[in-house]
């Protein structure tokens, strides 16, 4: 494969921006707030929108519309005035060309009076209107402007102008000039890291041209493609970015399948067969199919890395249990890591009767254990006297050592960062890994975040599940919701009420769980017992409250999102969510999944504060209309974007700054295929044709390469 004649070292990617023209120490500090520290950072700090200031008009041809008009004229007069009433300072410039005069005004920017000089040529751009006090003159308020100076590039007007995100003390105009000067000095040095064969195959424009065009588009560039980020220049940068990201995932996959020697389990398990006879139900065909996929992985000589996704209540835990029993029967330990103590305890209590019958040893390890209890638990884990250890983040603490960990199951895996997952893997010698999530992941996002994993999906729900009836209410109809809750209490049922915060916030007028629980107990539901559950409570308090709720001693459990996962009380048939517009779709779907677990019809009432944004209304309409978690996940991704899909960014993976997983799904498929093919042929990136890509890859994954080694 051929590359360009430039070596990657010819371009100083890592050079601090401090040394650029017009930057210096002070602006370097300001740029840091925008996550821009090097020349490469600045080159890939793309405009977030563009303004078309390319069409120059004569003053006599200006029109009174909402469109942006741009003119060039000679300054005839400059005045600085102050209003009598409010003391507002107004700079006014009379700008003339051969066809007429335009009056430009700026408010509370008195320094401009000394910036503009009579006789200077000035370019202004903005919306034109008829003068307030003189109906015969054109005026333009607070326009973008540029003093025509032959010694400086004319980049702010008279063209398609890039608009950048700003920070206090650093304007888009200033950034624009700095980027222009950077490109003027270095553009011809920017190397094409991709080989010519790949560039020609997909008709990609040169990297240097792509970067330049994204910052300063040509006049003929399609405005619609620019605004949607789909110009050839944007597509080239998106391709490169995804290609480098997928390379890391490909290297990880290659490392697992070629270098890592795992455990080849015998999957014909007497424990599994006996467990199936103990279950009060039969596995669905979807569960059986996934069990076969997992068993096939477990027989291989390299570690299993599989992501099991399934909707709320689809029966993922039972499938994971079968894999756990296979590991135990082969003489290995298993670990089940959950994000919360409540969920860990829920797993422990539900599995304990089965393990006692099967003669297997089950252990619970959480941060809430007393010192002596924790020491005893650690001793059992280290000596091999625990077959399955269920726990929270406590499992990955340094002092925890397994005798022979063969399988790690990570529940609600998106609650953990990549490096946290890596720590549980390091507790064994290349154990099999099964990750589970009840937040179905759209294909494009899955390929990006988990491109090194195999996927299993449970789409079939167990028989007998009645869909939860979901309704959206405005806050003014809250009393109607309370009436429906009381109707459930009278029928012997229980309810949840979820609030976003534990305590009142001055910044956001949200219902606080602590205050609301007290208010409901003292007013609306005096004849019923109201309980409170939130993340700041001690573990013993949480356990006490949950036990009382399970036993039916608490009618209404007011809680924060701590109940999002892990709570299973079949008698609870009503879920109420306060400020539902504040939650993501997938999170609302998870919360709704806490009810509908018994045979009785269940309800989810979403209370929204109005007025709401169109996006908030759209979210609530989706959750009201469907129970399909996969459809909900797709809608959630479309509405909120991939960066916010899980609420927090995935730790351990390079951030996508340019590519958009929805918009660029086709590019993702192609770039992924080529990246995996490249690593198949050169998994260490040591061939000569990989030198440019290797350097770019190491910069992209800088500080995150540890993730590739676990």
Q: What is the pLDDT of residues 70-82, one digit of tens each?
A: 898 999 999 999 8
143-184: pLDDT as tens digits = 988 787 766 677 887 789 999 999 988 988 899 999 999 999
Across the range 245-260, mean pLDDT stands at 78
% of the chain with per-residue pLDDT over 90: 40
519's enclosing H/E stretch is helix 513-522
How far apart are alpha carbons 364 and 388 in whole angstroms?
A: 9
Q: Is 499 helix (H, G, I), strand (E, B) or coil?
A: coil
The residue ranking higher by pLDDT, 613 or 311, is 311
Cα torsion angle, 167, 172, 176, 178, sign: negative
CB 199 within 8 A of CB 235: no
How far apart are alpha carbons 312 and 384 in whole angstroms?
A: 33
Is pLDDT of 688 > 90?
no
Mean pLDDT over all residues of the chain?
Answer: 84
Integer angstrom CA distances of residue 243 from 357, 500, 530, 551, 672: 51, 38, 54, 54, 6
Tokens of 65: 């519309």
Is pLDDT of 215 > 90?
yes
Is pLDDT of 511 > 60?
no
CB 132 within 8 A of CB 105: no
Tokens of 612: 């709401």
How far apart are alpha carbons 454 and 295 in whole angstroms?
A: 13
Quick one: pLDDT band at residue 634, thresholds 50, 70, 90?
confident
200's enclosing H/E stretch is helix 196-201
Rg over alpha carbons for the chain, rounded to the nearest Å, is 31
87-123: pLDDT as tens digits = 889 999 999 999 999 999 999 999 899 989 999 888 8
How many Cβ atoms from other residues are within 10 Å of residue 282's Cβ?
Answer: 11
Closest CA to 452 of 660, 630, 304: 304
Q: Name residues whose C-beta falls within 8 Å of residue 106's C-beta, 6 or more positions apart in sequence.
A: 90, 91, 112, 141, 142
**pLDDT at position 157:** 75
The residue ranking higher by pLDDT, 705 or 55, is 55
Cα torsion angle, 65, 68, 73, 76, sign: positive
**pLDDT at position 510:** 47
Q: Name residues whose C-beta falls within 8 Å of residue 113's C-beta, 6 or more positions apart in sequence.
A: 78, 79, 80, 91
Cα torsion angle, 177, 181, 182, 188, sign: positive
Q: Where are the alpha helices (DSSP H) in 73-171?
A: 112-115
Quick one: pLDDT band at residue 647, thresholds 50, 70, 90?
very low
Residue 111 class from Cβ within 10 Å (0-12 exposed, 13-18 middle, 19+ buried)? exposed
Is pLDDT of 504 > 70?
no
How far apart are alpha carbons 96 and 642 in whole angstroms?
A: 50
Q: Give the range with max mean pLDDT: 214-218, 420-424, 643-647.
A: 214-218
Q: Name residues whose C-beta falls within 8 Å of residue 349's C-beta, 6 or more positions apart in sequence.
A: none
Integer angstrom CA distances of residue 381 from 9, 162, 405, 528: 51, 59, 9, 44
How far apart are alpha carbons 22 and 252 in whole angstroms?
A: 42
Integer angstrom CA distances of residue 29 from 25, 37, 168, 173: 6, 9, 11, 17
Q: Name residues whose C-beta falls within 8 Å of residue 182's C-beta, 6 or more positions apart in sequence.
A: 20, 21, 39, 42, 43
Query: What pTM was computed for the model?
Result: 0.67
Is pLDDT of 502 > 60?
no
How far apart are alpha carbons 708 and 309 in whole angstroms?
A: 23
Is pLDDT of 7 > 70?
no
The DSSP call for residue 415 is G
Residue 552 class from Cβ within 10 Å (0-12 exposed, 13-18 middle, 19+ buried)? middle
Q: Omega of the bond prior to 588 within 30 degrees of 0, cis?
A: no
456's enclosing H/E stretch is strand 454-458
User: For helices 341-358 and 316-329, what crossing angle results, to 10°?
Assistant: 50
364-398: pLDDT as tens digits = 998 778 888 889 999 999 999 999 999 988 888 88
Tokens of 220: 């003929």
The residue ranking higher by pLDDT, 573 or 442, is 573
Three-state secondary structure readout of 21-58: CCCHHHHHHHHHCCCCCEHHHHHCCCCCEEEECCCECC
CB 166 within 8 A of CB 175: yes
**pLDDT at position 418:** 59
**pLDDT at position 363:** 94
Quick one: pLDDT band at residue 137, thresholds 50, 70, 90?
confident
Q: In the block, which residue shows the tokens 């573990």?
A: 539
Is pLDDT of 562 > 80?
no
**pLDDT at position 617:** 79
The residues facing 409 across adjacent strands are 336, 434
Across the range 263-269, mean pLDDT stands at 93
Strand order in the sheet with 432-437: 362-365, 388-391, 333-337, 405-410, 432-437, 305-310, 454-458
Q: Is 459 helix (H, G, I), strand (E, B) or coil?
A: coil
Q: In the block, which residue shows the tokens 């399909």?
A: 628
How far apart are alpha carbons 442 and 127 in whole angstroms?
A: 43
Q: In the block, which residue shows the tokens 């792509």?
A: 210
89-94-97 Cα angle (round to 5): 155
The residue ranking higher by pLDDT, 509 or 339, is 339
Is pLDDT of 540 > 80?
no
Q: Where are the alpha helices (DSSP H) in 551-687?
A: 585-592, 614-625, 629-640, 665-681
**pLDDT at position 4:** 39
Tokens of 103: 């009056």
Q: In the block, which residue shows the tokens 């979820």?
A: 498
User: For helices 665-681 and 232-254, what crossing angle results, to 10°?
Assistant: 40
% of the chain with per-residue pLDDT over 70: 87
The residues facing 77 across adjacent strands are 94
Is pLDDT of 412 > 60?
yes
Quick one: pLDDT band at residue 508, thresholds 50, 70, 90?
very low
Is pLDDT of 26 > 80?
yes
Tokens of 356: 């006692």
Quick one: pLDDT band at residue 2, thresholds 50, 70, 90?
very low
The residue ranking higher by pLDDT, 552 or 504, is 552
Across the range 215-239, mean pLDDT stands at 93
Q: For the ranges 154-163, 353-362, 457-466, 561-570, which has the lowest average pLDDT?
A: 561-570
Across the range 680-701, mean pLDDT stands at 87
User: For helices 316-329 and 270-278, what crossing angle results, to 10°?
Assistant: 140
The residue ranking higher by pLDDT, 414 or 1, is 414
**pLDDT at position 5:** 39
Is pLDDT of 553 > 80?
yes
The residue ranking higher by pLDDT, 643 or 354, is 354
Integer angstrom CA distances of residue 525 from 311, 339, 483, 520, 594: 33, 33, 10, 6, 22
User: For helices 285-299 and 316-329, what crossing angle results, to 10°?
Assistant: 30
Q: For the ranges 6-10, 430-434, 662-666, which has the lowest average pLDDT?
A: 6-10
What b/e readout covers 668-679, taking b as 16+ CB neighbours within 10 angstroms?
A: beebbebbbebb
Determine the length of the chain: 710
Q: For the ranges 121-125, 255-259, 290-294, 628-632, which has the lowest average pLDDT?
A: 255-259
CB 166 within 8 A of CB 172: yes
Q: Is 470 helix (H, G, I), strand (E, B) or coil?
A: strand
């Amino acid at each position: 494969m051929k590359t360009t004649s430039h070596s990657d070292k010819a371009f100083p990617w890592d050079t601090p921006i401090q040394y650029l023209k017009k930057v210096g120490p002070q602006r370097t500090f300001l740029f840091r707030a925008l996550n821009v520290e090097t020349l490469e950072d600045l080159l890939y700090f793309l405009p977030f929108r563009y303004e078309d200031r390319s069409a120059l008009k004569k003053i006599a041809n200006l029109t009174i519309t909402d469109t942006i008009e741009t003119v060039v004229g000679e300054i005839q007069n400059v005045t600085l005035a102050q209003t009598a009433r409010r003391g507002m300072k107004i700079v006014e410039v009379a700008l003339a060309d051969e066809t007429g005069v335009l009056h430009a005004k700026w408010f509370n920017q008195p320094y401009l009076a000394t910036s503009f000089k009579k006789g200077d040529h000035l370019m202004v751009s903005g919306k034109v209107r008829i003068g307030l006090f003189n109906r015969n003159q054109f005026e333009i308020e607070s326009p973008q402007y540029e003093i025509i100076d032959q010694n400086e590039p004319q980049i702010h007007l008279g063209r398609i102008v890039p608009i950048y995100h700003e920070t206090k003390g650093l304007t888009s105009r200033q950034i624009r000039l700095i980027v222009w000067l950077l490109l003027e000095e270095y553009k011809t040095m920017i190397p094409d890291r991709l080989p010519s064969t790949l560039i020609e195959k997909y008709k990609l424009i040169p990297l240097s041209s792509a970067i330049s065009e994204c910052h300063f588009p040509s006049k003929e560039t399609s405005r619609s493609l620019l605004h949607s980020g789909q110009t050839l220049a944007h597509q080239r940068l998106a391709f490169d970015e995804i290609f480098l990201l997928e390379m890391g995932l490909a290297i990880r996959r290659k490392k697992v399948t070629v270098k890592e020697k795992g455990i080849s389990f015998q999957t014909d398990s007497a424990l599994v067969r006996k467990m199936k006879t103990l279950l009060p139900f039969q596995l669905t065909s979807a569960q059986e199919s996934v069990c076969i996929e997992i068993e096939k992985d477990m027989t291989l000589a390299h570690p299993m890395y599989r992501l099991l996704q399934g909707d709320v209540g689809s029966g993922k835990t039972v499938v994971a249990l079968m894999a756990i029993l296979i590991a135990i029967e082969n003489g290995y330990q298993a670990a089940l890591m959950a994000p919360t103590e409540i969920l860990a305890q829920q797993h422990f209590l539900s599995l304990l009767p089965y393990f006692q019958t099967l003669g297997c040893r089950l252990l619970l390890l959480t941060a809430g254990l007393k010192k002596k209890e924790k020491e005893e638990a650690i001793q059992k884990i280290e000596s091999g006297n625990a077959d399955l250890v269920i726990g929270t983040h406590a499992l990955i603490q340094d002092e925890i050592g397994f005798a022979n960990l063969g399988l790690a199951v990570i529940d609600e895996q998106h609650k953990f960062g990549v490096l946290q997952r890596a720590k549980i893997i390091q507790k064994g010698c290349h154990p099999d890994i099964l990750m589970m999530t009840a937040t179905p992941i759209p294909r494009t996002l899955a390929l990006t975040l988990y491109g090194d994993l195999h996927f299993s999906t449970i789409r079939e729900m167990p028989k007998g599940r009645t869909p939860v009836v979901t309704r959206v209410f405005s806050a003014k109809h809250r009393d109607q919701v309370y009436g429906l809750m009381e109707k459930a209490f009278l029928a012997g049922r229980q309810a949840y009420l979820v609030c976003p915060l534990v305590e009142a916030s001055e910044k956001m007028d949200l219902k606080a769980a602590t205050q609301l629980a007290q208010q409901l107990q003292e007013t609306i539901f005096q004849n019923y017992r109201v309980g409170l559950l939130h993340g700041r409570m001690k573990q013993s308090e949480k356990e006490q409250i949950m036990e009382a709720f399970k036993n039916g001693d608490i009618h209404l459990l007011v809680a924060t999102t701590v109940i999002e996962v892990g709570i299973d009380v079949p008698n609870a048939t009503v879920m109420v969510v306060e400020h539902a517009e504040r939650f993501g779709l997938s999170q609302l779907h998870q919360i709704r999944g806490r009810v509908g677990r018994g045979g009785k019809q269940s309800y989810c009432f979403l209370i929204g504060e109005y007025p709401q944004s169109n996006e908030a209304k759209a979210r609530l309409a989706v959750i009201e209309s469907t129970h399909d978690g996969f459809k909900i996940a797709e809608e959630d991704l479309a509405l909120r974007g991939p960066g916010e899909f899980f609420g927090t960014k995935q730790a351990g993976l390079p951030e996508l700054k340019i590519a958009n997983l929805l918009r660029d799904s086709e590019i993702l498929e192609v770039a992924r295929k080529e990246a995996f093919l490249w690593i198949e042929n050169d998994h260490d990136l040591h061939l000569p044709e990989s030198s440019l890509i290797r350097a770019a890859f190491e910069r992209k994954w800088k500080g995150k390469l540890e993730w590739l080694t676990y």
